[in-house]
Amino acid sequence: MQQSQATFLTIPSMPFDENTYIAYFEPREDCLVIDPGLDPEAILSVLEDVKRTPTAILCTHGHADHIAGNAALKQRWPQCPLIIGQGDAPKLTDPQLNLSAGFGLSLTSPAADRTVSEGDMLDLAGFQLAVREIPGHSSGHVVFVVRNLQPMRVLGGDVLFAGSVGRTDFPDGSFTVLKRSIHEKLFSLPDETIVLPGHGPPTSIGHEKQTNPFVGLQSQFEG
């Protein structure tokens, strides 16, 4: 059951305009931080402003722009568990795998405290989260479906965007796999489900099913 209205704060970070989310219920003092990006100072500042302490750091996948803030958060809250899909856990500590080396950054993150896989359920900071594996952008990409809100939310990372999808030209990417995964794992959710993506504005499952040029009805004769 929904206990109260949840708040989802968005903190964009440059240069990739990546969305970090801070999610919490009133009047609780704990929260979730999802995909800490390249502006950890902004994330820490918002956490201080809203007076929330992270219960967990959730990473949808291991690309550098979604993990660059992990170290700062773990330094501030060493006992806060860092959670990522089991397939992308190696990317956290490897600049080649997380793609930062290609930009001359060589970013690394603390290792995962916990890994998750398809079908896992998490109960954190009042959020009931179902884990779904959606490879294609990154081989170990997961999304977290918030089941105890109406409408449901998807903490979606770089899978489905408003009018687009995540890039599939990385070494472990595949558009065919991504499209199939979206159809099977996301488009099976209710149309009113809200997607909070890793880049760009929120959207809904129903809207993308109808209008997305890559995976929606317009693309039914492609791929």
Q: What confidence score (pLDDT) does residue 2 get?
A: 45
Looking at the domain assignment, is residue 23 inside a domain? yes
Length of the chain measured in residues:
223
pLDDT tens by residue, the chain, 223 residues = 445 689 999 999 988 899 999 999 999 999 999 999 999 999 999 999 999 999 999 999 999 999 999 999 999 999 999 999 999 999 999 999 999 998 888 899 999 999 999 999 999 999 999 999 999 999 999 999 999 999 999 999 999 999 999 999 999 999 999 999 999 999 999 999 999 999 999 999 999 999 999 999 867 644 4
> Measured on CA atoms in the order 22, 35, 223, 190, is the torsion positive or negative?
negative
Looking at the domain assignment, is residue 117 inside a domain? yes
Residue 57 sits at φ, ψ, to 5 deg, of -105, 120
Looking at the domain assignment, is residue 116 inside a domain? yes
Report the domain count for the chain: 1
How far apart (Å, rounded) are the C-alpha atoms in residues 195 and 145? 9
CATH of the domain at 35: 3.60.15.10
Q: What confidence score (pLDDT) does residue 84 get?
A: 98
119: left (phi over 0), alpha (psi -120 to 50) or beta: left
Looking at the domain assignment, is residue 155 inside a domain? yes
Looking at the domain assignment, is residue 1 inside a domain? no
Q: What confidence score (pLDDT) does residue 173 get?
A: 97
Looking at the domain assignment, is residue 92 inside a domain? yes
Domain limits for position 85: 6-219
136: left (phi over 0), alpha (psi -120 to 50) or beta: left
How far apart (Å, rounded) are the C-alpha atoms in residues 210 and 153? 18
Looking at the domain assignment, is residue 143 inside a domain? yes
Looking at the domain assignment, is residue 97 inside a domain? yes
Q: What confidence score (pLDDT) does residue 4 get?
A: 64
